[in-house]
Amino acid sequence: MFTKTFFKLFPPPKFLNTPFAGIDISDDAIRCIEYAENMHGLVLHRFGSRPLEAGIVEGGRIIKDTELIKVVSSLAQELKLTTVKATLPEERMYLFKTEVPIVNEDEIRQNIEFKLEENVPLSPADAIFFFDLIPKSHKGNEKNFASVSVAPKELVLSHLKVLKAAGLEVVSFEIQPKAIARAVVPRGSVENQMIVHIMNSKTGIYIVCGGVVCFTSTVAIGKGADIALFQHELSRVYSYWGQYGDGKIINKIILSGQDALRVGNDSKVSPDPRIPVEIAHTWQNAFSNDHYIPPIIFEDSLQYVIAAGSALP
């Protein structure tokens, strides 16, 4: 079943407190963050990036694994990395919401596994899935729901092959939107937020409810695109969520990624003037700038949000 498959791919580390870095393999670059602790909490210990030539990774799919291994190895050697938590591209994943019983984690996993084929075009044998329980919005005897992310096993294995060939031990994988949310959504937040992550040639639009990713979409507009295009896509998702979002009102929009500052400075980007637009704080849940100033300027930090989130303990 799923649990046996998962731990065959990712055996538990020998020590649960083994340090690990967060690594983000995107179409245009590889980015990595590793934290350490001091008397005030977390600080940046290691970080770095490498650009990727066009055609090595396309739409989240590894096309040229030999070339990618060389780039990952170069970054790993420079930063002296040994263990990583990696992320998987949203556009290669499936996301669905399902009711689950109030039982232990293994039984919830089995319950979800039985429902996979009716929700995604993959058999349980060809899928790896991750889930988060969706926080309840009201008191009372509400049903329990989970947000389930499903990855084709071949996608996971292709990333695992590259990282292992580069000399890295992988402790786990997670979907990129979840890593972004962990970085930029304040811990304990009960608000519903739309996260807009702008990349070189595409943009991820994600809705996070009480810290859980409940909706994902990737659109083919990226850095430098006209503001009207961003506004159109955000309006489209906003309208969809208004119809199918179970009454959950979006409280704010958070922009991250390569073009976040330019897009965020345009008041027309919001699909509703009542919804505030904010620029992401990459270190929101890592440390306070009152005690520590990271060696990455603010604008550059917006490109590290995936790695920063996956690196959080």
State the residue range of the domain holding 131.
94-150
| Whether residue 137 is found in the same domain as residue 283 | no
Question: 96 near 119, Cβ under 8 Å?
Answer: yes
Name the residue among 55, 63, 77 with its Cα closest to residue 166: 77
Q: What's the rounded mean pLDDT across residues 247-252?
A: 91
**What burial class does residue 228 get, using C-beta atoms within 10 Å of its C-beta: 0-12 exposed, 13-18 middle, 19+ buried?**
exposed
Starting at the edge strand found earlier in the chain, the sheet holding 94-99 runs 94-99, 145-152, 127-133
The pTM of the full predicted model, rounded to 2 decimals, is 0.91
Band (pLDDT 50/70/90 cuts) for residue 139 is low
Q: Are 193 and 228 in the same domain? A: yes
Confidence of residue 261 (pLDDT cuts 50, 70, 90): very high
Q: Count how many domains the chain has.
A: 2
The reply to whether 111 and 74 lie within a common domain is no
For residues 22 and 71, state if they share a domain.
yes
Task: Give the CATH number of the domain where residue 263 resides.
Answer: 3.30.420.40
Q: Which residue has the tokens 């799923």?
A: 2
Examine the pLDDT at 16 and tell me if it is beyond 70.
no
- Given 150, 165, 186, the domain boundary residue is 150
* CATH number of the CATH domain containing 142: 3.30.1490
**Alpha carbons 171 and 228: distance in angstroms, whole number:** 41
Tens digits of residue pLDDT in 47-61: 999 999 999 999 999
Confidence of residue 98 (pLDDT cuts 50, 70, 90): very high
Task: Flag whether pLDDT at 252 surpasses 60.
Answer: yes
Task: Show the tokens assigned to 202.
Answer: 């595409």
In the predicted model, is pLDDT for residue 82 greater than 60?
yes
Q: What is the mean pLDDT of residues 84-94?
A: 94
Is a pLDDT exceeding 80 seen at residue 153? yes
Same domain, 205 and 276: yes
Q: Among 127-131, 140-144, 255-259, whose mean pLDDT is lowest? A: 140-144
